[in-house]
Structure 1
Amino acid sequence: MNLAERINLWLTRARAAGRAAVLARLLILASGGLALAISGLQPWDQLDLVLVVGLVALVATIALPDSAVPFVFLVVVAGGWLMRGPSDPSWQVAAVAMALVAFHLATSYAAQLPAYVRASRATIRSWLLPATVALLLAPAVAATSALIREASLSGSLVLTITALALTTTAYYLTVD
């Protein structure tokens, strides 16, 4: 198969893609791009390899959401923050966390259905409630961790584990 035939096949598949698949892939692109943009605009010295590998992994994730490439993207972006980023919670950390949660949820949704599937609005709506809860929990957890860190409470590990358990329970109860 030559290059022209491959492009024609790709365009045919893109035209046959359902609304749900296109929406999920657009959300993958938007959330992954936001996470990379916020990471790249930070004042601390970040490895250029993080942005290059992250961009390649983002493009590959749009094409192959059911592969290991989304995991590579998450590890690269989060690893870039862990290697060089500040340890204090900030709005940038919360924004990147929310973008990575949206990326993860959109990738898992896109990986469940083939690109040509015609999903109903009910299918998309059933996915939106858990996604919204997960997105709203990210800044809540960041704010709570900042408050716990400033309070110098004894037993902070117990509080953190309790918060994670409550977060997991809230997410579990919203999933059908």
Structure 2
Amino acid sequence: MNTSEKITLWLAQLRASGRAVVFARLAIAVTGTVALVVPAVQSWDQLDLIPIVAVPVLLATVVLPDSPAGFVFVLVVTLGWLMRAPAEISWSLVLTALVLVVLHLATAFAAQIPSYARVHPAALRRWWLPTAIALLLVLVVALAAGLIQGADVAGSLVVTVVAMALATGTIWFAAGQKLDRD
């Protein structure tokens, strides 16, 4: 199969896909774009390599959500913040964290189904509660970090790790996951 036949097949599958698949991939594209634009418009100088690496990886994530490209994209954007951004908590950091959470969840949803599948909207119900909890946790953690920033609190790392582990467990069980394999 040559390249033109592969593209023709992919476009036919895209035309046959349902709304849930298209919306998930659109959410990946939109949130990825926001995650790239927000750091780029900040007053600090972002590393020039970040958009050069992140844009092709974002396109790969949209086309192949079950590939490691989504993880690489989140890693590149996060490393861009950690390398050059100031250490303070800002609304742009919170917005970037929120869109990365949505990108992660949309990628996880889109990776479960083929691009040509038709998914009933009821399949999204399983994702609403974990998504809402994850977004709320990002806001709560940002608010808590903003309140205790600069405070020398003994054991704050342990408290943060335990809180994030409990939050992960809450999202896991809210998603209806079970510990056994049956």
CA distance in 2, matches of 1:161, 1:148: 15
**What does residue range 87-98 of structure 1 map to in structure 2 within 5 Å?**
87-98=87-98
Q: Deviations over 1:107-164 (max 9, x none)?
A: 1111111112221222111112111211121111111112222443332123212321
CA distance in 1, matches of 2:4, 2:69: 26
Could you say what the CA RMSD is over the residues aligned between the two structures, in angstroms?
1.6
Q: Deviations over 1:37-59 (max 9, x none)?
A: 10111111111210121111111
Give the alignment's TM-score, normalised by structure 1: 0.92
Which residue of 2 is the match for residue 105 of structure 1?
Answer: 105
- Alignment partner of 1:100: what SS? helix
Decide which structure has greater helix share: 1
CA distance in 2, matches of 1:146, 1:114: 41
Mapped contact 1:105–1:131 kept (Cα < 8 A) = yes
How many equivalent residue pairs? 176
Name segments (4+ residues, structure 1) moved above 6 Å: none
Q: Which amino acid aligns with 2:118?
A: R
CA distance in 1, matches of 2:5, 2:168: 47
**What does residue range 11-30 of structure 1 map to in structure 2 within 5 Å?**
11-30=11-30
- Alignment partner of 2:43: what SS? coil
Q: Which amino acid aligns with 2:107?
A: T
Mapped contact 1:148–1:156 kept (Cα < 8 A) = no
- Percent of aligned positions that are identical: 48
- Alignment partner of 1:143: what SS? helix
Q: Which amino acid aligns with 2:156?
A: S
CA distance in 2, matches of 1:151, 1:82: 20
Q: Which amino acid aligns with 2:82?
A: L
Which residue of 1 is the match for residue 60 of structure 2?
Answer: 60
**What does residue range 2-151 of structure 1 map to in structure 2 within 5 Å?**
4-151=4-151
1:7 CA displacement? 3.6
Q: Which amino acid aligns with 1:111?
A: A
Which residue of 2 is the match for residue 152 of structure 1?
Answer: 152
